Structure 1
Amino acid sequence: MRILFVGGEDSLPSDLIALVADMDDGWQVQRAADGTAATALIADAPQDVVVVAPSLPDMPVATLLGQIRTLRPETSRIAVFGGQPPARVLSLAHRFLPLPVGEAQLLEAIGSLEELRELLDNPALRERIGQIEKLPSPPQTYIALAHALEAEDDTSANDIAQLIAGDPAIAAKVLQLCNSAYFSAGRTITDLRSAVTRLGMATMRDLVLASEVFAHGTRSDLDRPAMQQRALVASQLARRMLPDSSAELGATAALLADIGLLLPGIRDERAAPDTQPADAPGHTEAGAYLLGLWGLPMPIIEAVAFQRDPARAGTRSFWVTGAVHVATALAASEPVREDYLQRTGVLEKLDGWRGHAERLLGLDETQHA
């Protein structure tokens, strides 16, 4: 894998780059001091990953990222920043690393991108996604919330409410979802602290993620509220199907299963083939690739990629991919692969899962009656 670092010693020190170069014999590492040198290297030869410093001596970071997108759209673009990246950088970079760049964090980012390329070995998909003028940005409020919950055992409802309130648009959307028929049980929730207390941390994390993800995207032909409600149903179903140790992975994967539909030029794999562009990537692999660029865990990426054919997953047991397959199929009122469930020993649970899905979808129908 070819890796290019762009920037000076202040943010990308030589010993850090040397560490990356020594980590894997298959990693070919280069360094460019500025944007002009980087552009020349990128024009001369493909790069798999480019890591760009917070500032360059000769051009804005966004300018270089835009040139990389034009010259090598298949290249994964990582931006390093000490604070909130500018909006243009947010739309052009695939992933962000905070200053100072930690060794483990950098190696994990590069390693996960290599693993993503091995899982989805599709150069045409990488190029198509890389050419999109404005990719959905990683969900910043969700990421901050997840970090807060992982870092502090005693994180309070008030702490979580304050974090969500930092983005008023997301806060308003979360409150709207809290008062939907899925979660309110007829009781009005008027503030974020009450919402966290009543719904719990896990459900609140799902709502924040749904609010951020489905608010973005350039396509105007989608019924986003319907997609969001279907995703929330699938998320609840997947969480119910898995043990506590993997329930959150399944819930998040099911929530994000259709994220590929938000990208322009992507084929909806549920729609009739004659209504879709034949050469367009399918929404499952496109969504999985986007999530991989964001840095989500590999079980989530694999579950999204193989949701319609869970037998392709790396594990033979019923795990996250299997749960996402069943949950998304039931939420969309589609057939479930019962042969797969039979092979993995969970077919007898299908009737119970289907009944739970029907109860959730019945609530949805009542809400919109």
Structure 2
Amino acid sequence: MKLRVLFVDDEPNVLNGLRLVLRSLREKWSMAFAGGAVEALEILAREPYDVVVTDMRMPGMDGGDLLSEVQRLYPDTLRIILSGYSDHKMIMKTVKPAHQFLTKPCNHKELEEVVERSMRLRTVLGNERVRAVFSDVDTLPSLPDVYASLEAELGKEDPSLHHIGNIIESDMGLTASLLKLVNSSFFGLRRHVSSPHQAVVLLGTDTVKSLMLVIELVKRFVVKKSLRFNAGLLWQHCTQTGHLARCLAVHADADKEVMDHAFIAGLMHDVGKLVLLTRLADDYAGVLELVRSRDYSVHDAEREVFCATHAEMGAYLLALWGMPAPVVEAVLGHHEPVQVPHEGFAPVTAVHVANVMEHELVIINPQYRKPAVDAAYIDSLGLTSRMQSMRMSCLALLEAAGKDPAS
């Protein structure tokens, strides 16, 4: 069945241009084109669409208002803003109703990749009740304003590192948390970082953005006390897994992009668990009961209760937020890496091994079943003989950071 995509723009020339550049997708996409929000809603009322891609600034009902209405009437529809308009207030208006924000001019290959990656991950979640959690973005933490502003700046042809630093500094609490993380011994920087400008230069925009996002997510999710679950320890596990994943990528002589994606995916790998803990707390109590009293792994208990896992839900959310494909795939496969076909050492490899080793080396709940490395997967990559040296590298990093790894 073809993917059904509706494009909305009040400029006829823009719609004609989209028709032209997207002709090659007609075999797999069924496309419709609307000259405004009212026409788009009329089309949606006649037949369902999987994706709505709209301009932001239009007369009458603008793109933000249109997507809010689409969210209300058709919550399962993927909602994307495609616009060259960069006004900050308008961007903030569309953050909640839009799953993705893409800037014009947008290469049709980029648009195709964003749409198909998000839709492909949507099929992972067969449980309608779980999908409903994601259909209403207001029940989830929206992307922080600072993060959205950074995305808008980075979408420009010539983004300014100085301006990026200023954007981060606009949130004092976030800046303080970011600098505390950046100056931790995990990063091993030889100089003290005293400003977001320095952090961006030394670590790169992708790493800094991801650190900011994780800080905000942890702050916004509140876990019920009755669950007896320590969200702070989960945050500690995620940050350490991120650093170990990068360490393993360095050990494997991976390129810088793989290192960066491994670190980001390690930071984000349990974001789906936060969603389940806070949005489906009563059901998640059943997961914790299976883990605590019946020796289930968290992964298996989630699948029994929800017919989906935190790995699948986290990947789905990050895909909707536009995280890089290797990061999304690493989160999806961090327990079951064979779900993500790839060649050689990849970010999913680093996060899979790092997650297991962090649980082995930093024992928080000794009564919980620890995850295990997929030995067949590791062997298929020719890494079996290197596992012990990888473990020693992880142990050395934790010791250097002042942690108390298990022997």
- TM norm structure 1: 0.80
Q: How much has 1:272 moved relative to structure 2?
A: 7.6
| Aligned partners of 1:341 and 1:347 also within 8 Å | yes
Q: How much has 1:102 moved relative to structure 2?
A: 1.8
Aligned to 2:365: none
For residue 292 of structure 1, what is the amino acid of its counterpart? A
Residue deviations 1:220-278 (CA, integer Å, cap 9, x gap): 11755434433332222222323125222222222221222343339689638668881
| Aligned partners of 1:49 and 1:110 also within 8 Å | no
Q: How much has 1:298 moved relative to structure 2?
A: 2.3
Aligned to 1:338: 375
Partner residue of 2:175 out of 166, 171, 176: 171
Where do residues 104-183 of structure 1 align in structure 2 (5 Å cutoff)?
A: 104=107, 106-118=108-120, 121-122=123-124, 124=128, 126-138=131-143, 139-140=147-148, 143=151, 161-162=165-166, 164-183=168-187
Aligned to 2:102: 97
Q: Are 2:393 and 1:356 equivalent residues in the alignment?
A: yes
Q: How much has 1:283 moved relative to structure 2?
A: 1.4
| Aligned partners of 1:11 and 1:54 also within 8 Å | no
Q: Are 2:22 and 1:14 equivalent residues in the alignment?
A: no
Partner residue of 2:269 out of 253, 257, 260: 257
Q: Are 2:195 and 1:191 equivalent residues in the alignment?
A: yes
RMSD: 3.6
Q: Residue 76 of structure 2: SS of its match in structure 1?
A: coil
For residues 226 and 147 of structure 1, what CA distance do their matches in structure 2 show? 35
For residue 42 of structure 1, what is the amino acid of its counterpart? L
Residue deviations 1:123-178 (CA, integer Å, cap 9, x gap): 54655422342444454366468779x978xx87x676445335444322211223
Aligned to 2:255: 244
For residues 60 and 138 of structure 2, what CA distance do their matches in structure 1 show? 23
Residue deviations 1:86-128 (CA, integer Å, cap 9, x gap): 4342111011122xx2251x44123332244335523546554
Aligned to 1:235: 242
* Structure 2: segments with no counterpart, 5+ residues: 224-228, 289-296, 361-369
Q: Residue 217 of structure 2: SS of its match in structure 1?
A: coil
Aligned to 1:311: 338
Number of residue pairs matched by the alignment: 356
Q: Are 2:56 and 1:54 equivalent residues in the alignment?
A: yes
Q: Residue 41 of structure 2: SS of its match in structure 1?
A: helix
- TM norm structure 2: 0.73
For residue 315 of structure 1, what is the amino acid of its counterpart? H
For residues 376 and 150 of structure 2, what CA distance do their matches in structure 1 show? 36
For residues 274 and 291 of structure 1, what CA distance do their matches in structure 2 show? 22
Q: Residue 253 of structure 1: SS of its match in structure 2?
A: helix
* Identity between Structure 1 and Structure 2 (%): 25
* Structure 1: segments with no counterpart, 5+ residues: none
For residues 329 and 16 of structure 2, what CA distance do their matches in structure 1 show? 34
Q: How much has 1:18 moved relative to structure 2?
A: 3.7
Aligned to 2:217: 216
Q: How much has 1:179 moved relative to structure 2?
A: 3.8
For residues 274 and 42 of structure 2, what CA distance do their matches in structure 1 show? 33
For residues 88 and 257 of structure 1, what CA distance do their matches in structure 2 show? 28
Q: Residue 298 of structure 2: SS of its match in structure 1?
A: coil
| Aligned partners of 2:207 and 2:260 also within 8 Å | no
Q: Residue 305 of structure 2: SS of its match in structure 1?
A: coil
Distance 1:346 1:146, change over 3 A: farther
For residue 91 of structure 1, what is the amino acid of its counterpart? K
For residues 191 and 237 of structure 2, what CA distance do their matches in structure 1 show? 22
Q: Residue 216 of structure 1: SS of its match in structure 2?
A: helix
Q: How much has 1:346 moved relative to structure 2?
A: 0.8
Higher alpha-carbon deviation: 354-363 or 236-245: 354-363
For residues 219 and 11 of structure 1, what CA distance do their matches in structure 2 show? 44
Q: Residue 53 of structure 2: SS of its match in structure 1?
A: strand
Q: How much has 1:8 moved relative to structure 2?
A: 0.1
Residue deviations 1:278-300 (CA, integer Å, cap 9, x gap): 13632111111122223333222
Distance 1:191 1:279, change over 3 A: closer
| Aligned partners of 2:92 and 2:148 also within 8 Å | no
Q: Residue 5 of structure 1: SS of its match in structure 2?
A: strand
Distance 1:332 1:38, change over 3 A: farther
Residue deviations 1:183-202 (CA, integer Å, cap 9, x gap): 478986543455567xx324
Distance 1:327 1:6, change over 3 A: same
For residues 345 and 34 of structure 1, what CA distance do their matches in structure 2 show? 55
